[in-house]
Amino acid sequence: MVEDEYGQAGYVEREIRRHTGRHTGGHTVPEIDDVAEEVPVALVYNGISHAVMMATPLDLEAFAIGFSLTEGIVDSVAEIRDIEIEPGCDGIEVRIEIGQRAFMALRAHRRTLAGRTGCGVCGTESLALLDLEPTPVGVPARRIEPTPAMLRRATDALQARQVLMAATGGVHAAAWCDAQGDVVAVFEDVGRHNALDKLIGHLTRTRTTFGDGFVLLSSRASYELVRKTARMRIQMLATISAPTSLAIRIAAQAGLRLLSFCRKDGFVEYTAPAENEGFVLRSEPLAVPG
């Protein structure tokens, strides 16, 4: 059983009945199954509840740091003064104390959200809140050049280090890989966004230089994952599954290299550095409903 510093295991045992042998009459076997935990995690900043995320209750301090950074609540980890984790009957409260500048900016942002009248994401006002202007990654000091062998090494190592996935079959993973494709750190969660935030939080705590590696995700590439990665000025994001069209657009705008379908036989490159001759990316403007 894998536990974090707070004694959380990340999964629970449940009694099940396994039914097999559909073509031979079938039989039923009682067993104990390991099921990934999913609990409400409330993120509370300076006493004000900001968000409730459904997450696996592992590595919550790293999660709080990563979420605060990738969502732009703080500009640096130095603005996080304290983190307290308080388990409850119905979930977990993560209390985060941040500096006055960051807190005032957060309060102003919350007032902006409260003043909007758009319904869901069907109107112009709501679309304006989606934060579709990514942080430019910039030119890294050392450009990582992906190869099939590098990505194969990384994906093989990621699969071997997905301990919670092996136990439950129901979580995503985010890995930090060096320029050679060696996996340095892996974090897992029922939510792919949460796994990435936990990874970012850990890398920040260990003072890892973001320009020296890339992120590998066991999931598809959605625009939120691209935006979070770009905000940390990480030069490359690789995913096991497919990207969305908006993820490709955001990656191109940010100058982030996006690789997907990273498998044993190769990968697909959707965005690349501008100096790569011959690479053409069509990026259509986002259509706003009239």
Q: Domain with 220 in it: what CATH number?
A: 3.40.140.10
Could you tell me if 87 and 166 lie in one domain? no
179 close to 212: Cβ distance less than 8 angstroms: yes
Could you tell me if 88 and 182 lie in one domain? no
Task: Flag whether 17 is in a domain.
Answer: no
Check residue 134 and give its pLDDT: 83
Check residue 129 and give its pLDDT: 55
Could you tell me if 162 and 67 lie in one domain? no
Check residue 125 and give its pLDDT: 46
Task: Flag whether 284 is in a domain.
Answer: no
In this structure, the number of other CB atoms found within 10 A of the CB of residue 123 comes to 14
Q: What is the CATH number of the domain that holds 51?
A: 3.10.20.10
Task: Flag whether 7 is in a domain.
Answer: no
DSSP states of 131-160 as a string?
Answer: --SPPP----SS-----HHHHHHHHHHHHH
> In sequence order, which residues have a C-beta less than 8 Å from that of residue 253 and are 6 or more positions away?
133, 134, 283
Q: Has 119 been annotated as catalytic?
A: yes
Can you give the pLDDT of all 290 residues of the chain as single tens digits?
445 554 467 888 888 888 887 666 678 888 888 888 999 999 999 999 999 999 999 999 999 999 999 999 999 999 999 999 999 878 999 999 999 999 999 998 765 544 444 444 444 445 555 667 788 898 888 899 999 999 999 999 999 999 999 999 989 999 999 999 999 999 999 999 999 999 999 999 999 999 999 999 999 999 999 999 999 999 999 999 999 999 999 999 999 999 999 988 899 999 987 654 444 444 333 333 33
Handedness of CA 163, 166, 172, 176 (dihedral sign): positive
Handedness of CA 45, 49, 51, 53 (dihedral sign): positive
Could you tell me if 95 and 168 lie in one domain? no
* Domains held by the chain: number: 2
Could you tell me if 73 and 161 lie in one domain? no
Question: What range defines the domain where residue 247 resides?
Answer: 148-271
Task: Flag whether 16 is in a domain.
Answer: no
Task: Determine the Cα–Cα distance for residues 154 and 177; give it in Å rounded to an integer.
Answer: 7
The single residue of 89, 119, 122, 262 carrying the catalytic annotation is 119
Say what the pTM is.
0.86
Task: Flag whether 277 is in a domain.
Answer: no
Check residue 19 and give its pLDDT: 84
Could you tell me if 254 and 159 lie in one domain? yes
Check residue 187 and give its pLDDT: 98
Alpha carbon of 150 to those of 178, 181, 213, 217, 275: distances in Å? 10, 5, 12, 15, 22
In the block, which residue shows the tokens 């935990």? Answer: 37
Task: Flag whether 115 is in a domain.
Answer: yes
